[in-house]
Structure 1
Amino acid sequence: MKKHLKQAGSVILVSALAITVAACSKESGSGVTSSAAPQPAKESQPPKLSQLTYWVPTQTQVSSQMKTFAEIGTYKELEKATGVKVAFQHPPVEVAQAQEQFNLMIATNDLPDVIEASWGATSGAVVRYPGGPEKAISDKKIIKLNELIDKYAPNLKKLLDTHPDWKKQISTDEGSIYAFPFLRGDDKVRVFFGPAIRQDWLDKLGLKMPTTIDEWYTVLKAFKEKDPNGNGKMDEIPLYLDKNLFATDAPFLGAWGINYSFYQDKGTVKYGPIQPEYKDFLATMNKWYKEGLLDKDFAAPNDKLLDNKMTTNILGASAVFNGGGIGKYVGLMKDKDPNFKLEAAPYPVLKAGDKPIWGQKDFAYNGIGAAISVANKNPIETVKWLDYGYGDKGDLLFNYGVEGTSFKMENGKATFLPEILNPPAGTSIQQSLAKYNRGTWSGPFVLSDNFQLQYLALAQQKKALEIWSQPTAERKLPIVTPTQDESSKFASIVTDIQTYQDEMLLKFIMGIEPLDNFDKYVKKMESMGIQDAIKIQQGALDRYNKR
């Protein structure tokens, strides 16, 4: 969901796949065109390593049908190729619980060999290291990888040498590379999340697709009052948005020009939840909540609960992933309700005709990567093992799974078998693919554009990519990092502030805290050091722009 995606080339694949790889390697402003896209280096020798412990959050498409990543076709085949058996350690699916387990693991120093997390992110529904990756290195939790990658990771090294913009994104200000990154090589694989609505309900009630906040209010009121599911009951839930969905690239908050964390406005760093516009957003959500337009369960994020509401024909709209939302629900409902039609909606704006400036669009790197811990007794061999994912064989394994089982080669291009993209009723494409590869979320590899074009097999998924690609995303802050001296202070400030703002978000929307106290809330945030955090982020952005 994110969970997230990517691509790597293939030396041994013939021209069609080479063209695909090239397309995914084009990076805006990089000066590298699709025709000059890199091919991975020759495979490094299999590492002399027998086993690894690997901590990584699981995904619902995996946990719903498997106990561990070791059951995925990618890792079964990877074990055959390298001789390395991986003992995966998975925290609970819910992000807050996963973060707690991560924090405990770090605090007790009970470290596995490899830790996959969102090292670079400072906000959002991800597991991250407080203070950022440079602090994780200075705290002696993970190791710096620059020299090891130069010597023992020829596949990743070649990609980074060819794409200095990618290397810029995966490095700290000090130049440290701290993880084997998940990379999205092309714009086509960087947009995968946004608002979605029941088009069949709109059609039944004679309503047009909403584009503004006011139009959304009209539609949600109709969903609440006019029985679009046709069961004679007022049991419809017009909109589900939990705390994590509010925070993921601002699907509704962005209408006010802000987000739920740090952002930039023409190079100046700002913090969304203390802006005057945030009060207007809270007032709107409070009104929707009072009128029963916003799901009463929004305060307690629960993916299974969301799935249940969507598949029992009572939910009208939400913010979803393209594969793990639209693709999943269409697959689950295709035999259960042939009238079910979930379509992407534009990111809403305040004024009709305005172009949305907030929307989900990842950079090539989103902060997720596999780091090697200081407890690892075989770092060189582990680097070789991780580098496998960036070579030609690793590209196929991580994007497509096992040849002959989940895909075949057609005209030089990896092509999923029909039964993989057309699973039986009750199984989504996302779940079907997750048995064989990691393409539907993230990992230490480059997501293939060729994978994405096949994954988004449905017409409404292709339409969603087009609609959700419209926002400019100009205010999104790149992944910046505090200095070592700043990291502890920044981590302390942000951790406390995010806890407080999450609490107050719920209270303001539910009416527990009157909006008349908004100024008092902002003063509290000021007293907790938000301006110091903004100053640190401003310095980090300035340094990033000079990298």
Structure 2
Amino acid sequence: MVKNMKMLTSSVIATSMLAVLIAGCGGKEEPKKEAGTTPGNTSGAAASGDVKYPGSLTYWVSLNGNAGATMKSYGEIAAYKELEKRTGTKVEFQHPPTGQEKDQFNLMIASGKLPDVIEYTWASAPKGADSLIKEKRIIRLNELIDKYAPNLSKVLKDNPEFRKLITTDEGNIYVMPFLLGDEMLKVVHGPVLRKDWLDKLNLKMPQTISDWETVLTAFRDQDPNGNGKKDEIPYYFSIADLDTNHLFLGAWGIASDFYNENGKIKYGPIEPQFKEFLTTMAKWYKDGLIDKDYATTDAKLKDAKVTNNQLGSLSTYPGSGISRYTTLAQPTTPSFKLVGAPYPGLKAGDKPLGQYTMPFTGVGAAISATAKNPEQIIKWLDYKYGQEGHMLFNFGIEGESYKMENGYPKYTDLIMNNPDKLPITQAMAKYFIASWSGPIVQDKRYIEQYFTMPEQREAALTWAKAEHSKTMPPITLTAEESSKTSSIMNDVKTYRDEMINKFIMGSEPIANFDKFVQTIKSMGIDDAIKARQAALDRFNNRK
């Protein structure tokens, strides 16, 4: 889910969220709503004057994998079919080939031959939105939203922090945004442990780095899988997971990339604490506490290590991790149980860094400068932020994919126990887009039901207790800053990844850490920090 929830990208993204959004559809009575989380309820027709919905439009968007598993186009999603019935707008979806999204986006922007609507993770665009507006690739939406998007306008009025996040440094709103509507949606990744192994070895849930070392050592030595062989892999390390959730590194109060410490940008790998982290990981690797083949383990092999009753701990998601692994492993290992673990500190009571996704991460639908009827398109996009559209794109078709029970939209067995044996995420994708992203406010009641196991919900609540104040907000680099630092960071990341592996695996002595820092500095990291500091300052000055 959320890279898919990043995002879900990435960014993409997640923290923990719980706030009641719209519970009813149409004119049905609604339960009391919590302030600040409810999408607008204004009728688009009433507040948008005489502007009509467009007769047709073209819409460029990446094809989500869960949708692509059973469909060729978003036009086959039940919510979009229903939207066409309600608005009369025929949509021609254009999906770039899977894996080529970034290249296809860049080519499309450069060519100037643009569809009416472009949905993208704009935070990863080579040029910032302000530059793209000046170059007449996309348009500024502020006035159009004020005049023709009453539903989104209400959402932004009720949630001033949303407006700041979706507004550029120059004051432009450039997308109809994907917004996380509740804290429960913002934490979706963290450390998990084999609870059945802990219980078998009479171990307590680890709270500190030292506790983790004790647990991992026991996993290595005390045969928790019971096969009489010393084949357990205590912990699976991954640089990608490290970048996502800061596991173990966060105990030292830093991240593996840029982070925000009281308004000052820092780059974690050149901080002294990073040496301490690497020293610990190198010791664990040497002692056999970390998978010796982690650097060459792909997704299939990692899955096999989990389901073959070998792996004791890793970082993962509640859905594609805890739930999926439990389903795959329990037929052969009935005792198999994964639970979320707290992010460990250096000492008891510490509050280490953990994974967190900002409510807006740059994902949204922009209108191209070549679109002939932007006011109609805005009105069409705004439908998703109103009561009926919110229900449609978070829950699908009432009576088919969900039923209202005591004011709560409960997914039917078409979603939760699909007759065609589709996974929940693929069943959801046939009806609505809430399980990934798009120009909507995501509803927490989606995730409450997607988390079918108590272990999933408990993991999200446990992970949410970590420190999130150092998370980078969605800053925007200028075109000059981006062009000046993008190649720097490509080189830095490649070198950083290579050296992290070398330090941990012991092919590079920790004594060479200062040389590692100097090399990164010689690559221009100070310029990259300076650019991001300027961008953060601009972000903090947004109104």
Q: Same fold (TM over 0.5)?
A: yes
Q: Aligned partners of 2:156, 2:450: CA distance in 1, in Å?
A: 26
Q: Distance in 2 between matches of 1:196 and 1:347?
A: 10
User: Residue 349 in 1 paired to residue 350 in 2?
Assistant: no
TM-superposed deviation, 1:335: 4.6
Counterpart of 2:467 in structure 1 is: 472
More displaced stretch, 290-299 vs 277-286:
290-299
2:495 corresponds to 1:500: yes
Would you say the 8 A contact 2:182–2:444 is kept in 1? yes
Gap change, CA 1:346 and 1:64, over 3 Å in 2:
farther
- Counterpart for residue 134 of structure 1: 130
Equivalent pair of 2:25/2:391 in contact (CA under 8 Å): no
Counterpart in the other structure of 1:407? 402
Question: Residue 139 of structure 1: CA displacement?
Answer: 4.8
Distance 1:217 1:248, change over 3 A: same
Counterpart secondary structure, 1:365:
coil
1:295 CA drift (Å): 3.2
Which residue number in structure 1 is paired with residue 534 of structure 2? 539
Partner Cα distance (1:98, 1:419) in 2 = 31
Identify the match of residue 386 of structure 1 among 381, 398, 405: 381
The C-alpha deviation readout for 1:487-519, integer Å capped at 9, x for no partner, is 332434333333332333333333344333322
For structure 1, the 5+ residue unaligned runs are: 27-36, 121-127
In structure 1, what is the equivalent of residue 118 of structure 2?
A: 115
Deviation at 1:344, TM superposition (A): 0.4
Alignment partner of 2:366 out of 361, 367, 371: 371
**CA drift at 1:399:** 1.0
> Partners of 2:27 and 2:504 in 1: how far apart?
54
CA deviation vs aligned residue, 1:208-232 (integer Å, no higher than 9, x gap): 2122222222322333343323344
The one-letter amino acid of 1:42's match is S
Mapped to 2, the partners of 1:523 and 1:72 lie a distance apart of 52
Write the letter of the residue equivalent to 1:384.
Answer: K
Amino acid at match of 1:272: G
**Percent of aligned positions with the same letter in both sequences?**
48
Matched, 1:75 2:89: no
Aligned partners of 1:331, 1:424: CA distance in 2, in Å?
Answer: 17
Deviations along 1:192-219, whole A, 9 cap, x unmatched? 2211111112112222212222222232
Matched, 1:167 2:163: yes
CA apart distance, 1:383: 2.7
Tell me the secondary structure at the aligned position of residue 52 of structure 1. strand
The answer to whether structure 1 residue 251 and structure 2 residue 247 are counterparts is yes
| Partner residue in 1 for 2:48 | none
Q: 1:15 to 1:524 in 2, by over 3 A?
A: farther
* Count of equivalent residues: 522
CA distance in 1, matches of 2:176, 2:502: 40
Alignment partner for residue 452 of structure 1, among 442, 447, 457? 447
For structure 2, the 5+ residue unaligned runs are 9-16, 46-50
Conservation of the 8 A alpha-carbon contact between 1:258 and 1:277? yes
The equivalent of 2:54 in structure 1 is 48
Deviation at 1:42, TM superposition (A): 0.9
Which residue of the other structure, out of 250, 254, 259, is the alignment partner of 1:263? Answer: 259
Residue 178 (structure 1) aligns with: 174
Match of 2:13 in 1: none
Distance 2:101 2:539 in 1: 29
Structure 1 residue matching 2:362: 3-state secondary structure: strand
Offset at residue 346 of structure 1 (A): 0.4
SS in 2 for 1:74: helix
Q: Distance in 2 between matches of 1:526 and 1:183?
A: 36
Q: Which residue does 2:183 correspond to in 1?
A: 187
Letter in 2 for 1:73: A
Contact 2:21 2:444 in 1 (8 A): no
Q: Is the 8 A contact 1:346 1:468 kept in 2?
A: yes
Residue 395 of structure 1: aligned partner: 390
1:183 to partner: Cα distance: 0.8
What is residue 12 of structure 1 aligned with on the other side? 26
Please point out which of 226, 229, 238 is paired with 2:222.
226
> What code does the residue aligned with 1:507 have?
K
> Which residue does 2:412 correspond to in 1?
417
Match of 2:120, SS state, is strand
Please tell me whether residue 85 in structure 1 is matched to residue 91 in structure 2: yes
Aligned mates of 2:223, 2:62 — CA distance in 1:
43
Structure 2 match to 1:294: 290
Alpha-carbon shift at residue 405 of structure 1 (Å): 1.8
